[in-house]
Structure formats: structure tokens, C-alpha cells
Amino acid sequence: MRVVVSGGGGFLGSHLCEALVRRGDTVLCLDNFSSGRTANLAALLEEPGFACTPCDITEPFRVSGPVDAVVHLASPASPRDYLAHPLQTLAAGSSGTDTLLRLAVRRRARFVLASTSEVYGDPTVHPQHEEYWGHVSPVGPRSAYDEAKRFAEALTMAYRRSEGADTGIVRIFNTYGPRMRAHDGRVVSTFVRQALDGEPLTVFGDGDQTRSFTYVDDLVRGLVAMVDGDRPGPVNLGNPGERTVRELAELVLRITGSDSELRFLPLPVDDPVRRRPDITRAREQLGWQPRMALEEGLRHTVKWFTGQPGDARGAA
Ligand code: NAD
Ligand code: UDP
């Protein structure tokens, strides 16, 4: 297969590109490197089956040759990034998604959208199954991201219904692992960096809010299954193991052996209280479920962060 991966220079995208190239696919990565890094692609750039076109998917760009699948991951993704760049976030979800859907339709390629558990907002149904419509503020600070993804889902379904596009939607829950940016503001990367640097771990609110953390390799297996299949989704991809943020902080302290203290800071506006995926659909339709236990996944992550040169960990 020849697969176009938008956002292929980012955290999830670079792992996906690697998995595809490793199994023999040809991959074209499209990325503007706003939050992606060329270092993520260092090993791949040596591979004959891999190419990267630096471009912004919200502006005109060209893809020549056959395309069998398009996986759309390009978007600011961490709360710190999308709160700082709300207009770019809305553009990536709207015009960026439209451009990539048109590309897929023209080449008769399968299109897979990386959506998010954020479409459920601050959920009133627990755990979250795909039939739940969500509880999202259309005007709050997180709305640029949440509504961009909801619009991207609607657009994907509209192309499927009106153009016969072969589409799939995955809703990704909080995913962690090597290649997260130390200063992306996400909870796992932040706690690991703070613990390794002997800084206090910044717990927002009382730390009783929950998340379900998926290791990147598990997530990539699910994404590949969605690319290979023909299901429309949406399908939740997440680890049903639900943890409080305070539990996560304590686990990171234990794994790193750090004696950092916990520093409690105000909870950000509209921060969801609970998150846990119902993955019945992923099990039934994709034969997918996560395999990596949180503790083991965190050990891999800590090891990777420890191996980074000091400036990579310290650079904002
Ligand atoms: P990331 O920031 O590491 O990757 C996003 C990539 O998209 C970066 O390489 C960035 O440079 C690129 N990009 C952004 N805007 C672009 C544009 N206009 N044109 C071209 N490239 C652009 O984040 P990630 O965690 O790898 O997330 C990838 C995707 O998965 C995102 O769509 C995100 O919404 C989704 N997702 C991630 C998580 C998670 O926990 N990591 C959870 C839910 C959904
Ligand atoms: N969080 C925290 N301290 C931090 C960063 C995040 O307590 O330094 C909390 C955040 O308020 C949220 C959870 O951790 O409740 C997960 O945040 P993240 O940014 O990783 O992703 P989200 O799931 O909210 O998109």
C-alpha cells in the first residue's frame, strides 16, 4: 500500500509511519512541523519506502502518484498547543480535513480520521461508548479543538454518504510514550520531566479527575487495523484502565525514584472530570485491545526521556 500520513512528523504520526514502513508499505508524510520534529523521522528518512513533504495541509499542496490510504493526524493536539493556536486548530479540522478527504476520494483511497475522546467533552455517560453524543461547550477555551474534531467527524461522514468515500473514524484517548515533547503540557510528559528534573509535579485541581492512558504501540496497532479494515466507526481506541491524575503522579514518582513533591494548582477551565472508553466496538470490529500495562508503559517512557540529551528535555 502507499499511505499518506498527515502529521507524520508528530508523536503518534512518526510511530505510525514506522509501523507501516516496517511491514512493507510506502509512506508519504505531510507535516508543517509546528509541533512535529524531524528528529522523530531520523531513522525513517534512511528508508527507501519513506518520504516526507513539508507542507501545511490547510494550504495548497500536491501529492503525485497512487494513494491507497490517507490517515489524517495533522492538528495541534496537546491542550497547551491548541489553546495557543485555536485558529490553526479549527483550520486543520475543517479545511485540512476537507482537502485530505478530497484527495482520498480522487484516488479512491481509504480515509482514516484521528478523532479524539474530546468529542465526549466532560461526559455525563460513563464509560464512554460511541453512541454517546457528548457534553461539549461550543464556546469554551477547549472548543476550538473539540468542535474542530466534531466537525471533522461530520465532514468525514458527509463525504461517505454523498461521495461514497471509504472512511473510518477513530476516537483516540490520552496516549503516551516515547517521543512526547517534554514541554507539550500533557500530563504524562509533564510529570515524567518534572520527576526526572527534581521539580514538583503540578497536579491540577485535587487530582481526583480521571483519564485512561494508552501506550503508543497499542494505539498504533489499532490505527493500522482501522486502515486495513472497511469499518466506518467511530471506534474508541483507548485503555479502559482508569486512573486519577493523583494516582498517575504517585506512580511516576515510584518509577523514577524521585522525591519530588506534588504541587496542587487550579484546575483549568472545562477540564473533563472523568474519561474511560468502552472498547466493545474496537474488540468486535477490529479485534483490538490494549496490551501494555500502565506501569510497564511508563517505564519505557521514563527510559526514553532519561536517554534524551538534557537540552531536548529542557527545551520548551
Ligand atoms: P503531535 O502534536 O505530536 O502531532 C501532530 C502533528 O501534526 C505534528 O507533527 C504537527 O507538526 C502536525 N501539524 C499540525 N498542524 C498541521 C498542519 N496544518 N499541516 C501539517 N501538519 C500539521 O500530536 P499527537 O499526539 O501525535 O496527535 C496526533 C493526532 O492524534 C492529532 O490529530 C490529535 O488530535 C490526535 N489525538 C491524539 C491524542 C493523544 O493522546 N496523543 C489523543 C486524541 C487524539
Ligand atoms: N494535568 C495535571 N497537571 C499537568 C498537566 C495536566 O494535573 O501538569 C491534568 C489535566 O488537568 C487533566 C489531565 O491531567 O485533568 C490530563 O491532561 P492532558 O493535558 O494530558 O490531556 P487531556 O486528557 O485533558 O486532553
pLDDT tens for each residue of 166-221: 999 999 999 999 999 999 999 999 999 999 999 999 999 999 999 999 999 999 99
pLDDT at 308: 84
**Per-residue pLDDT at 228 exceeds 70:** yes
In testing the pocket of ligand 2, which one of 204, 242, 248 has its CB within 8 Å of the most ligand atoms?
204
Q: Which residue, chain included where needed, has cell 473514524?
A: 169
C-alpha distances (whole Å) from 222 to each of 155, 178, 193, 229, 286 are 22, 18, 28, 11, 7
Number of residues written out for the chain: 316
State the average pLDDT for the chain. Answer: 96
Dist. CA 97–CA 118, nearest whole Å: 17
Return the C-alpha cell found at 213.
492512558
The span from the CA of 48 to the CA of 157, in Å, is 34
Total domains in the chain come to 1
Torsion sign over Cα 230, 231, 235, 239: negative
Residue 167 CA to residue 185 CA, distance in Å, equals 31
149 CA closest ligand 1 atom index: 34
Residue ranges in the chain assigned as alpha helix (H): 11-22, 79-84, 86-91, 97-106, 143-163, 187-196, 216-228, 245-256, 280-281, 294-307, 310-314
Could you tell me which residues come within 8 angstroms of residue 77 by beta carbon, excluding any fewer than 6 positions away? Answer: 10, 11, 35
Q: Does 309 have pLDDT greater than 90? A: no
Q: Band the pLDDT of 307: cuts 50, 70, 90.
A: confident
140: domain CATH number is 3.40.50.720
In a domain, 45, yes or no: yes
Can you give the pLDDT at residue 104?
A: 98
Would you say residue 314 lies in a domain? no
Query: Residue 67 falls within a domain, yes or no?
Result: yes
In-domain check, residue 316: no
Band of pLDDT at residue 310, cut at 50, 70 and 90: low
pLDDT in tens, 233-285: 999 999 999 999 999 999 999 999 999 999 999 999 999 999 999 999 999 99
* Contact in structure between 236 and 279 (CB atoms under 8 Å): yes
pLDDT at 313: 57
Distance CA 13, CA 5 (A): 7
Q: Per-residue pLDDT tens for 134-155?
A: 999 999 999 999 999 999 999 9
Nearest Cα to 271, choosing from 193, 148, 174? Answer: 174
Q: What is the CA(128)–ligand 1 centre distance, in A?
A: 22
Q: Whole-angstrom Cα distance, residue 222 to residue 16?
A: 10
pLDDT at 312 over 80: no
DSSP-assigned letter for residue 285: I
269 located within any domain: no
pLDDT in tens, 166-176: 999 999 999 99
Tell me 175's DSSP state.
E
Predicted confidence (pLDDT) per residue in 3-41, tens digit: 999 999 999 999 999 999 999 999 999 999 999 999 999
In a domain, 95, yes or no: yes
Tell me, yes or no, if the pTM score tops 0.75.
yes
Task: Give the residue numbers annotated as catalytic, written as ranges.
Answer: 145
Statement: residue 311 has pLDDT above 70? no
Closest-CA residue to 173 (of 155, 188, 152): 188
Instruction: Determine, yes or no, domain membership for 171.
Output: yes
Q: Is the CB of 212 under 6 A from ligand 1?
A: no
Can you state the angle between helices 187-196 and 294-307, rounded to 10 degrees?
Answer: 60
Indicate which atom in ligand 1 lies nearest the CA of residue 91: 18
Which grid cell sits at 208? Answer: 481526583
Nearest ligand to residue 32 Cα? 1
Residue 79 beta carbon below 6 angstroms from any ligand 2 atom? yes
Give the three cell numbers for residue 292.
Answer: 501494555
Strand order from edge to edge, sheet including 110-116: 50-54, 26-31, 2-6, 69-72, 110-116, 167-172, 235-237
Return the ligand number nearest the Cα of 172.
Answer: 1
Cell of 61: 499542496
The set of cell numbers assigned to 174 is 490520552
Q: Establish if 187 belongs to a structural domain.
A: no
- The boundaries of the domain holding residue 12 are 2-177+212-240+275-291
Confidence of residue 316 (pLDDT cuts 50, 70, 90): very low
